[in-house]
Amino acid sequence: SGMYGPFPYDVHTINALVVTHAHLDHIGRIPKLVRDGFRGKILMTSPTRDLAELILHDSIVILAGEASHRGIEPLYEEQDAVKAFSLVETLEYHTEREVVPGMSVYLRNTGHILGSASVRIKNTEGVAIALTGDIGNSPSPFLPDWEPIPDADALVIESTYGDRVHPPQQRRVKRLREVLKRAISRGGTILIPAFSLERTQLMLYELSNFFSDGSLPNIPVFLDSSLAIHITAVYEKWGPSYFKPEAEDEMKREGSIFEFPFLMKTLSREESVTIEKTPNPKIIIAGAGMSHGGRIGHWETRYLSDPSSTLIMVGYQAPGTLGRHIVDGASLVRINGNKIKIKATIEKLGGWSAHADLDGLLTFTEAAFAEKRSKAIFTALGEPATERFLAQRIHNYLGIRAIVPEYGQTWEITKNSVTRTLT
């Protein structure tokens, strides 16, 4: 059952798979799809390919450990991922490609993470449907803003934050700076649990700016995550071609927008030993972003009981995770079998999501329907209540037909209409 269960369709009948971006919740079962018999094309942008290889390799190690612990077969293994990537064809933005006879795809940037894309699928009659994938919280400091989709007869839009509004980005940067200043003044260790993909790069970018403009004193910063280090290298590889123009120029001029003189990257656990020997104050960025695994657990065990230290949460903390217990005010937590009394200062900073909020999704929808071609929009990729809320707002605010599809429904899209078909 769950992610280990069979796909609800015959995988042999699928001709092509288009990947919008490299987050694990969008690519995590691709090797299983191949293991179960899929042999079609897999299309994605070049940065997404590089990122997906790193993310899936990391997940294989985690899945193997979970399977061993539970006494079951792993969801997939290394050879399945290798076979999956043998089917990959890269497709860049703004390039139409016929993927199967009579059907073409076209990708646009969504500003969510490096290489993220929306997908427009069109048949020979010119009927087109577009799927947004995840839409970015534009503007980003270095990613281009999302691009509108004006040429689809129907649109499927993500709804992750379709019922809330993020704080202004200037406020989040100001708050991060203020929190870091206070944390440094306490003289302890500053821990930042961060997702390896996109959130870590955002933190490095902002820290680089704070140090270069004199907002913060020069103190050691450790990036203690091999996955985040490798992902940052992919950002540096593709940044000169995929970032917004001003960030591209800076990359070409400086070589990186994620580096600064006292940043130390610790690839191995052995290298991590040097962190503890480094005098305070210092900053440690490590995964996992919700403190439910990775090297951050070691540092939380070491420093959460230190009143001079600070834990800064810059990401969503899911219910049931260690990070959620901490931000909810727990005074005692268990980490790797150790009971830890929390005496460090805990800071929760909002607004760092890579997803568009309600206002962003409404703006995206309005741009997509500006040329009056689209007939309807489907809300998806969110909690059911959020999908319904977003659909209602789209209808009420923009006067656009918004549909919350149910599992198992079939809809027919033509140049003139979007109708539900009874099966």
Give phi and psi for 214, each to the nearest 5.
80, 10
Tell me: pLDDT of 423 over 80: no
Name the pLDDT band for 277 (thresholds 50, 70, 90). very high
* Whether 258 contacts 208, CB under 8 Å: yes
Lowest mean pLDDT among 250-264, 275-289, 343-357, 393-407: 250-264
**CA torsion 188→292→160→314, rounded to 10°?**
0
Give phi and psi for 152, each to the nearest 5.
-125, 145
Domain boundaries, the chain: 2-164+355-421, 169-348
List CB contacts of 201: < 8 A, sequence separation 6 or more.
Answer: 142, 231, 232, 235, 258
For domain 2-164+355-421, the CATH class is: alpha beta
Per-residue pLDDT at 2: 78
- What pLDDT digit, counting tens, does each position of 142-174 carry? 999 999 999 999 999 999 999 999 989 889 999
Mean local confidence (pLDDT), 308-330: 95
Residue 361 to residues 178, 270, 354: CA-CA distances in angstroms?
30, 45, 13
* Whether 390 contacts 361, CB under 8 Å: yes
Name the pLDDT band for 271 (thresholds 50, 70, 90). confident
For domain 169-348, the CATH class is: alpha beta
Angstrom distance (rounded) from CA 331 to CA 320: 16
- What pLDDT digit, counting tens, does each position of 353-377 carry? 999 999 999 999 999 999 888 999 9
**Paired strand residues for 122:** 104, 128
